[in-house]
Chain A
């Protein structure tokens, strides 16, 4: 009976009291909702006007999405069954009559008792929340490492990988080297002895180190000063041309 009766009530009953809309999320379950209704209606929990409460209950859960409603629908069905059982005729003062509400009342009382404990816990939890403990957290000691399980080939493969990605370290040997002007002059003289004309690029090889460049430059200037050679540069940044000095040649 409950299936069709329930469906009828859930879908069709537009005459239900337009009581205020309640978000069902604020209830933690059907018993919570039921207890709230009983409290609002101010009825005796041992003598619940089941028809009225069932009606209220159904009105409240109508808005519920179906996937959340299962537990509420079960309670609704239970209420309707009790309501039907209450309607069965019974003789006044009959001894053997079992109140169909008894089980529900027992559950409600049990539930309410739990809610009182919840209140106690809530107060205690709130009190504790408002006090801080020391924030230092002892680091969790890790369990000892398992013994290494490693084969020789794995080890060699690892070495190989490392060697492949690791370049030989660049080690710089810094050797102090003074500029060697006399040496450079010897070189220039030797060259000029062979050729009447030479160029800067003949004297300074590509990739020469700074000290070589400087030595050659100073040696060249020194020789020019001594009149051993002539140094010319046709235009800025052009190759420097070196030639034997005519005077010294004559000498």
Chain B
């Protein structure tokens, strides 16, 4: 249960997070209370998170895409889905994941470059990723026909529950075999 030391600010933030279907970014949380400083909000968030974790709740506070969101814990997913209270989103196909991976690492990136690396055409995959809001056109290239360049969106971070893009492993953290410079061939 809430202990007496819990601040009114933490309760306010909890109510706001509960009411929102999407992650709330820090700026919006700070704006909830005119008197609240960034540090106070950070402390209050930590308070809520600790409260959920330490006191044992079915939900947890998760930092996603520069914002915060209350999510159910994974162990209850099956029961919730069995009762048809909520259902998990469909998985992305391998083709979609490969395309997303390239865009995430090399954005802004055009269709031709993606096809060059993947070795297949990606028109329909790009279209469906764009429709799902996972990628967006972020600019146009210089080349012939000024090809569209794609980048990831906040929804991308939400979909993978990433705080920010830096959370993905850096290129040089990927497998050892790939890090090694190709031997003189």
Contacts and interface: CB of A to CB of B under 8 A. Distances in A.
A37 to B, nearest CB: 14
Contacts of B175: 112-113, 116
Interface of B is mostly: mixed
Interface string B169-181: 1010011011000
A129 B102 CA distance: 21
B117 interface: yes
A211 interface: no
Given A113-B171, A115-B98, A46 B119 contact: no
A7 to B, nearest CB: 21
Given A30-B120, A46-B183, A113-B178, A135 B86 contact: yes
A134 B183 contact: no
B52 interface: no
Nearest to B179: A113
B20 interface: yes
Contacts of A88: none
A15 to B, nearest CB: 28
A191 interface: no
A93 to B, nearest CB: 12
A118 B160 contact: no
B45 interface: no
A112 B178 contact: yes
Contacts of A101: 185
A125 B4 CA distance: 38
A106 interface: yes
Nearest to B185: A99
Interface stretch (B6-14, B33-41, B67-75, B143-151): B67-75
Contacts of A130: 74, 77, 88
B118 interface: yes
Nearest to B88: A129
Interface string A127-158: 11111111111100000000000000000000
A134 B185 contact: no
8 contacts: A99-B185, A114-B98, A125-B92, A126-B91, A127-B74, A132-B77, A133-B72, A138-B20
Given A46-B185, A131-B77, 4 more contacts: A30-B120, A112-B177, A118-B101, A133-B71
